[in-house]
Amino acid sequence: MKPAPFAYARASSVAHAVELLERHDGDAKLLAGGQSLIATLNMRLSSPALLVDINGIGGLDRIAVAGGKVEIGALVRHVAAERSAEIARHAPLIALAMPHIAHPAIRNRGTLGGSIAFADPAAELPACLVALDGEVDIEGPDGKRTVKADDFFKALFETALGPHDMLTAIRLPAATKDTRVGFAELARRHGDYAMVGLAATARAAGAGLADVRLAYFGIGATPVRAKKAEAALASGTIDDAVKALATDLAPSGDLQASAEVKLHLAGVLLRRVAKQLAEPRS
């Protein structure tokens, strides 16, 4: 299928993009890598009157590490994050997740900002952002604001972004020598959206773990924290943590797997990720 006709504008700045969104009140969409948006246009799931291309806006394709934080601009492409030495060193969870996102052709164009803004419930990066307790910078008609990842993902494909807002960057705590991370997903083929996935962070504390954060994806409308399992992993055994998933998670079945299968797979992933969390980073 072909998309419905649309007009095209190239934004010269974030303020210009926001102005164009406001002027076309609810009938315009930002175009970043286009890897999700163009598919929804072609399937006529969406038919905005105007596409606002943000690819020409300068300064949004940078990765910066300062003050114990890693800031990733909205237009950083998946491939740039995947190959970045700074991401590998300071944001190792993102480095683990990147190769699981789609295929190289899609990673060449897709952006981190687009992935977070699109908020597909089966996507890797939203769950990583939640596991890392990261935050999102937004610019809109009323100026700039920052939203914590836990408050950003609201419902299915619904975020804290309003219709006239643009996501400009995400910010993550930079890893320290005590940081532990884990990532695993089960997909029918490598590069497919996950049936179930898990992104996790923790802090090494003596022989055990503290500040465990487990963020599942592909299991609910948004990334889902498994808080009882987090507590069990910090103070109990892996078996306790797996048992706790039955109260933490309420998966609904989809085309890929039934609710029961998803819950079982969540336990399998937790055992794999717990092993990664137990090992110091090299």
Ligand X SMILES: Cc1cc2nc3c(=O)[nH]c(=O)nc-3n(C[C@H](O)[C@H](O)[C@H](O)COP(=O)(O)OP(=O)(O)OC[C@H]3O[C@@H](n4cnc5c(N)ncnc54)[C@H](O)[C@@H]3O)c2cc1C
Contact set with ligand X (CB under 6 A): 29-37, 39, 74, 101-102, 106, 110-111, 113-115, 117-118, 120, 123-125, 161, 166-167, 193
CA distance linking residue 183 with residue 214, whole number of Å: 10
Q: How far is the CB of 282 from ligand X (least distance, A)?
A: 26
The DSSP bridge partners found for residue 196 are 186
Judging by DSSP bridges, how do beta strands 208-217 and 196-205 pair with one another?
Answer: antiparallel
Q: How far is the CB of 205 from ligand X (least distance, A)?
A: 31
Nearest distance from C-beta of residue 259 to ligand X, angstroms:
21
Q: At closest approach, how far in Å is the CB of 47 from ligand X?
A: 12
Q: What angle do CA 155, 214, 81 make, to 5 degrees?
A: 80
CB neighbours of residue 255 within 10 Å: 5
- Cα–Cα distance, 204 to 223 (Å, whole number): 24
| Distance between first and last Cα of the chain | 49
